[in-house]
Each structure stands twice: as structure tokens, then as C-alpha cells.
Structure 1
Amino acid sequence: MQLFPKTTTFTLFCAFLTLIHAYDVVREYSGVSFFDEWDFFGSWDNLTLGDVYWLDKSDAFSQGLAYVNSVGNAIIKVDNMHSVQSPQKRNSVRITTKDSYAVGSLWIFDLVHIPYGCSVWPAVWSLGGSTWPEGGEIDIMEAINLMPSNQMALHTTSGCFHNYTPPNQLGATLVTDCSTAAGCTVGELQPNSYGSGFAAMGGGVFATQFDVAGIFTWFWSRPNIPSSVTQSNSTSGIDISQWGPPSASYLAAGQCNITEFFTPQQLILDITLCGNWAGLPEVYFPSCGNRGPTGICYNDNVVGDGSNYNDAYFEIPYVRAYTTGGVAPTPTATPFEIVSKVDISTYPGYGSVTIPLSAVTATNTKLQPSQMFFPGNGASQRISWLQIGVGWWMTSIGVIILIELL
């Protein structure tokens, strides 16, 4: 018996294929309410030993280091207005989402500007709990000094690797063991993912898929952002099937059991200075040694009137978090030839030490887990089981439709 006319069957099948690639938005951080669902760190940089003090919320707003600008974009920045004398630290900002996002999540960061310059170390990342590296860390955007492009990484306890680089990964695998100090790192080879080039192009978008099949990060410069992203809004779902190959593709199969090494993640944005990556002499001096008379990161940058930090700020139209109750696709798009590929081999810093292995416990981090969206408390769990039931039902319908097509 034919359940549907052939044309209707084909339409339903196409809709089903689209459905299983779709994510539903669960939180947007944007506009005047951007900062409402973030915690401010309120402590010195006790993890990467940078020369900053991350202000609490009231001080960050009163000192003009966190605000929403006239076009509705959130700003977090390094203090560029006050003089710092040795051995003082310079004020900055680190913010962490109140919510945690479980496996099955997708995060999109629209950034107009990323902090850059000698001594500057910005990061967009996630952390699974207050004790590092238990619970895992995902570095989505992280760079230092005058690096020409972004570096991505995973940090875990022993047993997670990136030994196999999928053929469609656009970035270059630099370190394969995720439990090393640098993590398993991938260098971005596409142009304009950081620094003045990023700013000149009007910024861009970073997206990370956090899934049982793996962890995948995409970068698009402003002119190349997919239509599914540019046409999305604060309430619409999103289809990632046409996103193309990712910059970093950390496959789970045979390399890293995602649910074993990663707990629900809180999203973090921060800016530190110098520290044990940007300030390492072997990393800092080759590109920034002529920045001042001493050739030392702290002395020649942090100390002084701060005018050299005019570019040390994030400008953020929005951050969106999504989840899916269905089957999430593993990126399989064919890689494309990168025009003007970034030569990361000539620049110091890629794949270098970023976090000391001794820094296992960070105090006063304000990174206590909150209730997750999916799964979470009892109410969220009931929603999750409902989604599972709907997913099973839609899968059954898909099988029936396939039979009808045949």
C-alpha cells in the first residue's frame, strides 16, 4: 500500500534528512542582556600565570572593561587607560557562562574583533569543571602576540589522542597527545583567523560541535560565513550539513572517548598578558623582542600607560548555544584548496606549552557546574527522554519512507 504520493514521499524524505542535521537554540548571549548569564572571575590569573587581574563584575563595568557598545555588541577588554608600575598587574576580564552544555551541543561565536598585539593572549574556550584538566578543555580560539592565525586544542587527562588527522581537516595537526601541556593542537591555515587580518575583514565566526562522534571546530572569515549562520536568529534552529570541512576535526573513534574525557562544558572568554605561553622568552622574543628596551614581555608591555593595548579587546555581536535530541552528523565535506595558506612553521608559539602540568587545581575559579540543558535536572531529563522518543519515531518514519522510495 502506498502511504503517500511519490512527490509527497520525496518531500518528506528531504525534510527528514534536514531534520537530523538540525540543532535547536537553547541560549543566546547578545545585546544589552549579554552579560546577564556570565560570571566574572574576580581573581588574578592563577592558571596561566599571566600578568593580569581579572575583575569582578562591578569593577569591570565601573572601570569600562566590560560594556555593550552603541551598536549592541558586547565588549571585554584589557585596561588601556591607566598606568601600571612594576610589580603590579594590569586589569582585564574573564567571563564564564553560568550554564553548562553537555555532549550533543553546538556553540557559535560571532566576533567582530579579537584582542591582539605583543604580550596579548586571548582565548575562547570551554572547561568541564573547576579542576584542570579533569572534565576536559576545548580551545576554540587561542593565539598570542603577533601570531598570524588561530590555534585550536583539546586538554584532557591521559588517554585521549589526535593521532589520525581526517583528510578533510583544514588545519595542521601539531601535537597529538591531548594530555601534554600544550594539548593536542591544530594550527589554522586559513588566512584572517586572528590579529589585524581578522579585524580588517570585519571579524568572523567560530563554531564548535561537541558530540560523541568527536569535537569539530570551524572558522569562517566574515565574507565566507555560511548562509545557515547569517540567516539564523536568536530563536531559530540551525542546519550544519552545508558547513563544509572543519578547521579542527578531533574524531572520537579509536582515539578519544568523548564522554570519558569530557564532562558538560562552560564557555569562557578571557584576555591575559604574557604568562607561560605569550611570555615565554623563546616564544616572545623572536617576534616582539624589539617592543621595548629589555626584551622581556612584562617589562616592555604591561608596565606603562597602557596605550599599547588599544587593540586588546573582544567585540561580540552574539554567542549562541544549541543542542540536538537527534543524530548529529560527522563532518565529511571534501576539503578545499586554501588560498594564501598561512605558513605557521616560521612563527614561534604554535604547539608550545600553554598550561603547566603542575597547575592542576585552580582556586577561586567560580567555575562550579550549574544545571545543564540536556541532560540536566529531572525536568530536563524528561525533555531529553521525550526527544529520544521523537528521534526514534522520526527514524522509523525515515525507514518507511526509504522503503516507499525503493
Structure 2
Amino acid sequence: MISPIPLTTLLLLLPSFALAGTAHRKRRSCHRRSSTASLAAATTEASSPSATQTLPVASEAAAPASTQVSAIVVDDSSLVASGAGQWTLKETMIGHNFLDSFNFETFDDPTHGTVDYVGAEEAASMNLTYSTDSTFTLRADSFSVVPASSRGRKSVRLASKNSYTAGVTIITLSHMPTGCGTWPAFWTVGSNWPNNGEIDIIEGVNNDGDNLSSLHSSSGCNMPSSGRVMQAAATGLKCGSSDGDNSGCGTTNNAQENSFGAGFNNANGGTYAMRRDSEAIKVWFWPAGTEPKDVSGSKVIDESTWGTPTAVFPSSDQCDLDAHFAAHQIVLNLTFCGDWAGSSYGSDSSCPSSCDDHVRNSPSSFNEAYFEVQSIRTYA
């Protein structure tokens, strides 16, 4: 028979048990922040990869196998955010150094657009990419009539050399492409689509005025029908792509003015931020001059001060984000017509003829088809 422990001994031991339990909870919390604040980096091959490699692709179709690239992702679990909601600056892409962080992708457009993506040398010689000390511009050819035998109007698609897991990506622009037939996008995507996921931060077509932010994934990922505290309106809850349905779980920003297109440009642009970790993917938009001070280049940012997100995609029993979203590259591109801009072209009464005919034969209509990027910054 075991002798009972005296009450005085128990009272002496209780503080030790309490401290041990607290320390264990702190270690678990620190570990969770460490893994969700990690930034994974990978280098990709140049734009002429071998047939055994895997490229990130857009949501509607896979890139040809002969143009695929695979990236080796190195996860640095030592990167820990400095506090709840805080992230530390890792990269700045700006001005003359902007292209140091990107590769040009020249394969056929996976979204079946009337576009001819060109490489670095041709883009520079045609003035489709250029920079100043503080800005970078990516634009479409707005001078040439495009023959029916070519892939389409010349433009540019950039994919980051690094890949990223948890963290924050912030882009500030003073201008984005707009006009009939255009389909600009700023997004992130994994190497095996849709299994590694896609996050659309900025996207729209033709003369849209409201930005679309959305997720695309493998099957088994759905957003809840209620409980998401955000400004945008949900346009779909099924993120998974299956049976030819690649619409994803989108949100349309009809709550904030000038989030896309000509309105965005007339208001001198703005800033978008996308934050991703194991708990949620969130997007914020601020018109120029209204953004929080820390998103303009601070070494440490604090999302807890940013207010209600534009879009929220929570991880839940309906969608385990870590299971559906792997390391992503950042993509900036401008295509034309294709699966979305082309299919919705006829619904805009201000757009002439057919989308393909307009894109090929009206070069001056694309004078406004350009991104002017002030900066892209990544945080971990």
C-alpha cells in the first residue's frame, strides 16, 4: 500500500507542475509560429527546361510537359515572426533590380489566350519591360498588327526564381493593364497544378472594375458558407478543380472602390497584400494614400493593425490549407482573350468585334495594357 503524500508536500509541488505545463504550451505555440512563418526559397531553371521538369501553370490547363521545371524548396524553420501578426522583410523587388528575382516563361498560354509570351531579350528590345530607379514596367506590344498565323499579341509572363510557403507578399502598383481583351494577373502557384494550389491576388478581365481574389486547389477543399469576416463578396465556395470546373472559390471586391482596372489607374493605383499560413490565406487592398505605414517598406510589418481583410480563406475541416497548398512561385503576367477574357468578351457592349480580332488588329487599343510596379516585397 502506497502512503499518501502529505498536503504540505502537494502544495509545494503545485507551482512546479503549473510552470511545466505553461512552458510546454509556450514551446508548442513557438513551434507553430516558427513553421507557419517560414519562407521557403528555391531556384528554378531558365526558360528552356528539360522534359522531366515541372513548371507552375495557370488554373485552366497544364503547361506542356516539354516546358516543365521543378524547384528544390529549402524550408528555413529558424525564421520566426517577431510577434503575433508580425512578419520580417526578406526580399525587395524594385526598379532596375526587379528582374533579378524572375524568370521569363515563354510556353504556350495554358489559358488558351491570344498571346505570344516572349523572352528577356525580345521583351527588352521591344520595350515590353523597362525600369527606372523606382519602378518596373511590364506591357503588351501596342504597335503591331498580329497575323493570324502567330500565337497572338506579344506580352510577358514572369515567374519568381524563389518559391514561398508561409509569409506575406505585398505589391504596390501605380497602373495595371485594362481594356477590352486584357486578362492581367498577379498570383502564386505551385509546381503541380492543381494539387499544389493557386492563390489569385489580383485578377480581372476586359473592363472589369472589381478585383477577383480566389483559390484553386485539388478536390476536397471548400470554403465555409458563413463566418468569414471580410469586405469582399464570395462568388464560389468550391476551391477544387474537377470535371472541367476551374472557377475556384472566388471573392469579388465590390465593397472598395477602384480595386481594379481603369478606376484603379485613375486613382493612382494602390497596394495589395497576401498573407498565408496554416490558419488562413488573407488578402488586403488599400487605394493609394490609404495604406498602413508599415506596408511601404518597413522591416517589420504587423497585420493586426491592417483592419478587416478584403478576402479571407480559412483552413478548416472543409479545407486543410497545408494539405492543398505547397511552395509557390510568384507570377505576374498579361494575357488576352482565352478561357475567361474571351468567354466573357461579348457581355461587354463597349468591346468591338470579336476578342481575337480586336487583339490582333487594334494595337493602339492596348496603350493602357501595362503594369507599372513600384515594388514587390516578401516577408517571413
1:313 aligned residue: 370
1:298-346 CA deviation, whole Å, 9 max, x = no partner?
11x21225110011000001101111xxxxxxxxxxxxxxxxxxxxxxx
Residues 238 and 127 of structure 1, relative CA distance in 2, 3 Å threshold: same
* 2:271 aligned with 1:205: yes
| Counterpart Cα distance in 2 of 1:18 and 1:60 | 40
1:129-155, Cα deviation, whole Å (9 max, x unpaired): 1x3212000000000001111001100
Say if 2:84 is the partner of 1:20: yes
Aligned position for 2:35: none
Give the unaligned 5+ runs of structure 2: 1-80
CA-to-aligned-CA distance 1:66-124 (integer Å, 9 cap, x gap): 1104x52000011102221224311000000000011x211001111110100000000
Per the alignment, residue 192 of structure 1 pairs with 258
When normalised by structure 2's length, the TM-score is 0.75
Q: Work out the CA distance in 1 between the residues paired with 2:189 and 2:137.
A: 22
User: Structure 1 residues 203, 61: closer, same or farther in 2, change over 3 A?
Assistant: same
CA gap 1:260/1:18 in 2 versus in 1, 3 angstroms:
closer
Task: Look up the match of 1:138.
Answer: 199
For residue 124 of structure 1, the aligned residue among 182, 186, 195 is 186
2:290 alignment partner AA: N
Would you say the 8 A contact 2:294–2:300 is kept in 1? no
CA distance in 1, matches of 2:198, 2:157: 16
Report if the CA contact (8 A) 1:18-1:239 is conserved. no
Structure number with greater Rg is 2
1:228 Cα deviation after fit: 1.9
- Aligned partner of 1:37 in structure 2 is 101
**Structure 1 residue 179 displacement after superposition:** 1.2
Partner of residue 54, structure 1: 117
* TM-score where L is the length of structure 1: 0.70
Counterpart residue identity of residue 88, structure 2:
D
Q: Which runs of 4+ in 1 moved over 6 A?
A: none
1:64 aligned to 118, 124, 127, which one?
127
C-alpha distance in structure 2 between counterparts of 1:21 and 1:265, whole Å: 21
Shift of 1:37: 1.4
Q: Is this contact kept in 2: 1:41–1:54, CA < 8 A?
A: yes
Residue ranges of structure 1 left out of the alignment (5+ in a row): 1-16, 324-406
- Shift of residue 258 of structure 1? 1.1
CA RMSD of aligned residues (A): 1.5
| C-alpha displacement of 1:18 | 7.3
- For 2:87, the aligned partner's letter is Y
1:153 paired to 2:214: yes
1:210-246, CA deviations, whole angstroms, 9 ceiling, x for partnerless residues? 110010001111132112223x34xx12111110111
- The residue aligned with 1:269 is 332
Question: Secondary structure at 1:291's aligned position in 2?
Answer: coil
Look up the SS of the partner of 1:298 in the other structure.
helix
